[in-house]
Amino acid sequence: MSGLLGNIGLKESVAPFEFNGASGALCVLASGSRGNCSVLVVPSTPDTPRRVYLIDAGLSPRRTAKLLDERGIRPDEVDAIIYTHLDTDHCYVGSGAGWVKAIRPGYFRAKLMIHRGHMGRAERMGLLSAHTEPFDDACELAPNVSMYTEVLSHDSLGVACFRFVIDGKNGEVAHLGYATDCGRVTPGLIEHMRGVDTLAIESNYCPKLQQDSDRPVFLKKRIMGGSGHLSNQISADAVARMRVREHLVLLHLSQQCNTPELASEEHDHSGLTRTISTQHEATAWIPINAGSNEVDIVFPRVKSRQGALFGGQK
């Protein structure tokens, strides 16, 4: 399928999709201030079934289910929803704890995976249930999928940035980085993402458009003050330092203070295949191909998944 070959642009053919030898595939269903959700699919192996993970769930369960169905994925195939943080554009609540109510037989059956540092807020939002599972710096999502977390400053509680490591069929290892709402780029984030095969990272705003906008001063300071979002320039500098191997996905573009053209132009120097996500249209399937695996990075020890908060079983 051409959508899996890594073209810049939006939706192409969506279902069914083929991996074409890739270790995994990412589709950004929506990204922006009105709702963020991506889907990561890892193909089956002789020893493991296909895995499906949502990264953030800032869309309603109904809309998410519709977008997944268009891509050949049933709601009950989603293994886990992994939250970067719990702002409402990343964690939809609707008139109540919307995703807690959506986890039921015959519909979604996913775990709600929330960083341990966000559990207090999760409780206040009504997100704690038998399906809620805290995670720490490193955990095993499946026998062939591990997740490593770097927490950065974003508002009061911070944001979890992920590196997914996928063991392929023939011993190859693929790396996906995912970082949004980063606030500022730290040496820890650079090291955490160094040498990933595919990187999804926010490129939120153009500084000039931000300064010239009619947004209130306090909001501009929040966004640009180191605990909000990354500008196109800061994002591009980080990508260069991370030495991404193949594919770059730009997330969370401001509709008021950025354009796809400005974001892409700032990242031109990278030489990477680029996909620009939008708020209203899903991207094509983006391949996660295994690289040379010569990146020398020491991760925290992987922990098995802790089990649901209240002892429930999936």
Specify the pairing of strand 80-82 against strand 51-55.
Answer: parallel
Nearest Cα residue to 82 out of 48, 58, 46: 58
Q: Which two tokens stand for residue 225?
A: 């003050």
Report whether 26 contacts 198 (CB < 8 A). Answer: yes
With beta carbons less than 8 A apart as the criterion, state whether 238 and 217 touch: no
Q: Give pLDDT tens digits along the chain (314 positions).
A: 333 333 333 334 344 467 888 999 999 999 999 999 999 999 988 888 999 999 999 999 999 999 999 999 999 999 999 999 999 999 998 766 689 889 999 899 999 999 999 999 999 999 998 899 999 999 999 999 999 999 997 666 789 999 999 997 777 899 999 999 998 899 999 999 999 999 999 999 988 888 878 887 877 877 777 667 899 999 999 999 999 999 999 999 999 899 999 999 999 877 899 999 999 999 999 999 998 555 566 666 666 555 565 544 44
Cβ-based burial of 298 (10 A; exposed 0-12, middle 13-18, buried ≥19):
exposed
- Residues in CB range of 271: below 8 A, 6 or more apart: none
Q: What type of residue sits at position 284?
A: A
pLDDT score at 11: 38
CA 176 – CA 276 distance, rounded (Å): 16
Residue type, 290: A
Nearest to 286 by CA among 261, 251, 253, 249: 249
Is residue 147 a contact partner of residue 164, using CB atoms and an 8 Å limit?
yes
Sole residue written with tokens 């969506």: 14
What are the structural domains of the chain?
Answer: 2-11+22-291 (3.60.15.10)
Q: Classify each residue of 231-265 as buried b or exposed e, where b means 16 or more C-beta atoms within 10 Å of its C-beta.
A: bbebbbbbbeebebbbbbbbbbbbeebbebebbbe
Q: 223 to each of 145, 150, 226, 227, how far by Cα in Å?
A: 33, 20, 7, 7
In this prediction, residue 301 carries a pLDDT of 62
Report DSSP letters for 135-200, one per residue: E-SEEEEETTEEEEEEEE--TTT-EEEEEEEEE-TTS-EEEEEEE-S-SS--HHHHHHHTT-SEEE
pLDDT at residue 90, rounded to an integer:
96
The DSSP code for 300 is P
108 beta partners: 103
Which among 245, 104, 98 is positioned nearest to 177, based on CA atoms?
A: 245
Distance CA 282, CA 59 (A): 12
Q: Output phi, psi for 173, to 5 deg.
A: -125, 130
- Enter the tokens of residue 233: 């320039």
Q: What are the Cα distances from residue 187, in Å, to 2, 115, 139?
A: 36, 21, 22
Write down the pLDDT at residue 154.
Answer: 64
Q: Tell me whether strands 247-251 and 111-115 are parallel, antiparallel or unpaired.
A: unpaired
Q: What is the pLDDT of residue 168?
A: 79
DSSP string, 85-111: ---TTTB--TTTTHHHHHBSTTSB--E
